[in-house]
Amino acid sequence: MAEKLPLILLLASHLFVSGVLSMSILKIENKCNHTVWPVLYSWKSQVSTTGFTLRQGEARVINAPSSWYGLISGRTLCSTDSTGNFLCATGDCESGKIECPGTYSWAPVTYVYFRIDNNGINSHTISVEYGYNLPLMVVPSHRSRTCTSSSCVVDINKTCPNDLLQQFKENPIACSSACQKSNTPETCCTLDFKSKQNCKPTVYTKNFERACPLAQIYAYDDNKSTITCSNSTDYVITFCP
């Protein structure tokens, strides 16, 4: 048994170097002038936390394991009510806690999706398909022709149509998508509109596209918003860059 140990260690080392056991470091930082409560939701594999507090100027490092497929978003204007329930004005995950375990309910906020080490490739996509609440930027550590920064940094709340605007004490705090607001087949690209041919941009999606042309705008958007990188790439995710 002792003679086999070095071989086992060598094999494990090879697997790590080749990317089978690789992971990416996600540094999440808050440059807003207020506190943000990030949400991390996983469809495949898990990260160490599902939600936490990030005060102005703070950052936190999360290790994303190989094959992680999930999203990151930010909640704002959060507080605990008299019954101990934790609630947020935007991006609330409806858990009643700072962490967001369990199922996920889509909110009109800015999202970034990640796939870590998917057959040797990392990818990320900033999306305003469901709406917008915070400016967001993703910067990869090893940039190349295909591996570039992506962002949605324009304050869409300032150009949001009145029927989609969410306010808090008369201040704009989020802009919902037309699908989230009306839930029609045309705006949500469902039923007869569930194809790239039939799902067309609308007046609402064009407003988002003008502000954030590199973000995913609607279900069948083909603006090449997905950025691909090598599986050795780490990332800085910044709210209000």
Q: Do the domain assignments include residue 176?
A: no
Confidence of residue 21 (pLDDT cuts 50, 70, 90): low
Q: Do the domain assignments include residue 54?
A: yes
Average pLDDT over residues 159-172: 93
Query: Chain centroid to CA 210: how far?
Result: 20
Q: Do the domain assignments include residue 183?
A: no
Q: Do the domain assignments include residue 30?
A: yes
The bridge status of strand 235-239 relative to strand 23-30 is parallel
Q: Which run of H or E residues covers position 172? A: strand 171-176
The string of pLDDT tens digits covering residues 191-227 is 888 888 888 888 888 889 999 998 999 888 766 799 9
Task: Report the CATH number that the domain containing residue 130 is assigned in CATH.
Answer: 2.60.110.10
Q: Do the domain assignments include residue 150?
A: yes
Average pLDDT over residues 119-123: 94
User: Rounded to an integer, what distance in angstroms lies between the CA atom of residue 109 and that of residue 130?
Assistant: 7
pLDDT at site 10: 41
- Reply yes or no on whether the pLDDT at 88 is more than 90: yes
Mean residue pLDDT of the chain comes to 89
Q: Minimal CA–CA distance to 53: which of 25, 34, 26, 81?
A: 34
- Reply yes or no on whether the pLDDT at 96 is more than 80: yes
Complete DSSP assignment for 77-146: EEEE-TTS-EEEEES--SSSSSS--S-----SS-EEEEEEEETTEEEEEEE-SSEE-S-EEEEESS--SS
What's the total number of domains in the chain? Answer: 1
Query: Which residue segment(s) compose the domain that 90 sits in?
Result: 23-154+213-239
Instruction: Quote helix, strand, coil % in the chain, to nearest 5.
Output: 15, 35, 45
Residue scoring higher pLDDT (195 or 17): 195
Q: Do the domain assignments include residue 173?
A: no
pLDDT at site 176: 96
Q: Do the domain assignments include residue 146?
A: yes
- Reply yes or no on whether the pLDDT at 13 is more than 80: no
Q: Do the domain assignments include residue 191?
A: no
